Chain A
Amino acid sequence: AQSVTQLGSHVSVSEGALVLLRCNYSSSVPPYLFWYVQYPNQGLQLLLKYTSAATLVKGINGFEAEFKKSETSFHLTKPSAHMSDAAEYFCAVSKPGTGGSYIPTFGRGTSLIVHP
């Protein structure tokens, strides 16, 4: 079964520091991978997606992620954290399921805390 594992339920960084949120996937076929962000009292918003094109994917708000097949990883990074980046981040994997539908499976989420 396809799944993603997010290491660390909480990540705490100082403003201006590097952000690294970890995601590992398990899939018997090449996966489609996503990172979503959820700000307080809001729905989820897509940050970026990997669909087997370039392995380094750039997203919104300065985030990027690198697909590493050898490590089965899709970690999310941002060079310099901003206070407004504080949110819940979800890694998700998707492949054809029931009736050929692509429905994402979400990781448990990582809460990013940014200190001044």
Chain B
Amino acid sequence: DTEVTQTPKHLVMGMTNKKSLKCEQHMGHRAMYWYKQKAKKPPELMFVYSYEKLSINESVPSRFSPECPNSSLLNLHLHALQPEDSALYLCASSQETLNINIQYFGAGTRLSVL
């Protein structure tokens, strides 16, 4: 099983809402990532968790709050987002970060902020 599952697939939220994105993998990977992707652009790294600890935060605004409850799950909590935050949010996982490992991506959550 090389699947990374993201839910929901689509999300529409207002600027005052609180919502969460969920990502799950059962490959035993110990590194998990959140990316933001705008249309026709490459993915931009947001956060990296390594062994359930936040190891990289690419200066992401505090309205995005990641959480890694266990080695299989990764959440992204959203609060007071702006319309410019509308994008495809991709989750990925890999065996670890300290070696060249293949990243496996989920299909993404397409977020629209109204």
List A contacts of B33 (CB < 8 A). 103
Interface string of A97-116 (1 = CB under 8 A from B): 01111111011110100000
B102 engages A44 (CB within 8 Å): no
B42 engages A109 (CB within 8 Å): yes
- Contacting A at CB under 8 A, from B93-114, are 97-103, 105-108, 110
A106 engages B108 (CB within 8 Å): no
A108 to B33 CA separation, bound complex (whole angstroms): 19
Chain A, interface residues (CB within 8 Å), range: 20 to 34
A44 to B105 CA separation, bound complex (whole angstroms): 6
A46's nearest neighbour on chain B, judged by CB, is B102
Q: Say yes or no: A107-B92 contact (C-beta < 8 A), given A46-B102, A102-B99.
A: no
Report the stretch among B48-56, B68-76, B79-87 that lies at the interface. B48-56
From B6, B50, B103, A101 is in contact (CB under 8 Å) with B50
A100 to B33 CA separation, bound complex (whole angstroms): 16
B4 engages A43 (CB within 8 Å): yes
A104 engages B107 (CB within 8 Å): no
- Among A32, A46, A98, A103, the one with the most B-chain Cβ atoms within 10 Å of its Cβ is A103
Q: Is B21 an interface residue (CB 8 A)?
A: no
Q: Say yes or no: A102-B101 contact (C-beta < 8 A), given A42-B108, A108-B41, A109-B41.
A: yes
Question: What residues of chain B have their CB less than 8 Å away from a CB belonging to chain A?
Answer: 4, 6, 33, 40-43, 45, 48, 50, 55-56, 90, 92, 97-103, 105-108, 110
